[in-house]
């Protein structure tokens, strides 16, 4: 981003955003975690001993679920970063506020306990967890779908924990190893997103989907479509109206070849 655009970025106060984490939101997150664990446990119990369950079915469902969770993490992250306002009822404080706080104080997540780190993801995963549990397990296809959905939301739940570790100065040794071999989100890879104005590399489960999505211009294309349909300005609440307008104009003027070159730039690992 140009120096001129950087100077126009106007973010919200970190302390004010942090105060938005209320006792009511925490209570909702505790209930969500308990419900999520209950549904996932019930799913494992229901799958256990099913004649259609096999090692290759489970392995393929878990891997595909991991890729799907990475994409879902990027989609949700992009939505939280780009649209809406922290002043919106319910959604503003419970879902949008943490994204905006993270851009202002990226180390805040390392000070969050297990509930604050993972409660939101458990909450949004509950409908899918219930669906995974309720689909019929009468054939290999249904069992695969159920296992895939259960695995995907498990990784979705783990996403914020992986994200937290990517900002931790000295994570446990095993976590550092998994980051170095890029089996969970590496710090250097994620640092690309934390370059103002925070408009790329949204996938934060493992980050494998970031380059493919950048190559096809997925998120920038979605932004142009939503702006064309609704007139809403991407990132207005996060970086301020002036910077958001400047960024839209800069993206419109950028050549496709420049976007390809940017997405192809190697990212060093932690």
Q: How much is the average pLDDT of 213-241?
A: 86
CA dist 103 and 88 (Å) reads 19
How do residues 155-190 score in pLDDT, each as one tens digit?
999 999 999 999 999 999 999 999 999 999 999 999
Q: How much is the average pLDDT of 8-34?
A: 69
Q: What is the residue-averaged pLDDT of the chain?
A: 83
* Most trustworthy range by pLDDT among 27-31, 84-88, 94-98: 27-31
Q: How much is the average pLDDT of 86-114?
A: 78
> What is the CB neighbour count within 10 angstroms for residue 99?
21
Question: Taking 70 as the threshold, does the pLDDT of residue 254 lie above it?
Answer: no
Under 8 Å between Cβ of 207 and 70? yes
b/e burial code for range 241-262 (CB count within 10 A of at least 16 → b): eebbebbbeeeeeeeeeebeee
- In this prediction, residue 9 has a pLDDT band, given cuts at 50, 70 and 90, of very low
User: From residue 111, how far is each of 38, 104, 172 by CA, in Å?
Assistant: 27, 14, 16
Domain ranges in the chain are: 13-263
CA dihedral 156, 224, 228, 244 (to 10 degrees): 90
Question: Taking 80 as the threshold, does the pLDDT of residue 243 lie above it?
Answer: no
């Amino acid at each position: 981003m140009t120096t001129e655009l950087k100077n126009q970025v106007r973010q919200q106060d970190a302390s004010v955003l942090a105060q938005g984490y209320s006792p009511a939101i925490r209570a909702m997150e505790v209930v969500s975690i308990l419900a999520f664990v209950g549904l996932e446990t019930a799913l494992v119990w229901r799958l256990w001993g099913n004649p259609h369950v096999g090692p290759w079915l489970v392995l393929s469902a878990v891997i595909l679920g991991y890729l799907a969770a990475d994409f879902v993490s990027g989609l949700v992250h992009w939505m939280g970063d780009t649209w809406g306002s922290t002043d919106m009822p319910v959604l503003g404080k419970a879902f949008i506020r943490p994204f905006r706080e993270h851009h202002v104080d990226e180390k805040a997540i390392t000070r969050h306990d297990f509930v604050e780190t993972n409660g939101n993801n458990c909450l949004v995963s509950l409908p899918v967890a219930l669906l995974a549990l309720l689909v019929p397990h009468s054939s290999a296809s249904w069992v695969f779908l159920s296992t895939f959905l259960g695995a995907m939301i498990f990784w979705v739940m783990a996403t914020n924990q992986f994200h937290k570790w990517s900002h931790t100065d000295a994570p446990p040794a095993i976590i550092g190893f998994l980051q170095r071999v890029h089996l969970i989100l590496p710090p250097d890879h994620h640092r690309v997103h934390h370059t103002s104005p925070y408009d790329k590399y949204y996938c934060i489960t493992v980050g494998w989907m970031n380059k493919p999505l950048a190559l096809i211009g997925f998120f920038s294309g979605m932004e142009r479509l939503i702006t064309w349909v609704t007139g809403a300005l991407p990132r207005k609440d996060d970086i301020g109206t002036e910077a958001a307008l400047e960024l839209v104009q800069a993206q419109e003027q950028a050549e496709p070849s420049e976007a390809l070159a940017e997405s192809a730039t190697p990212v060093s690992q932690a």
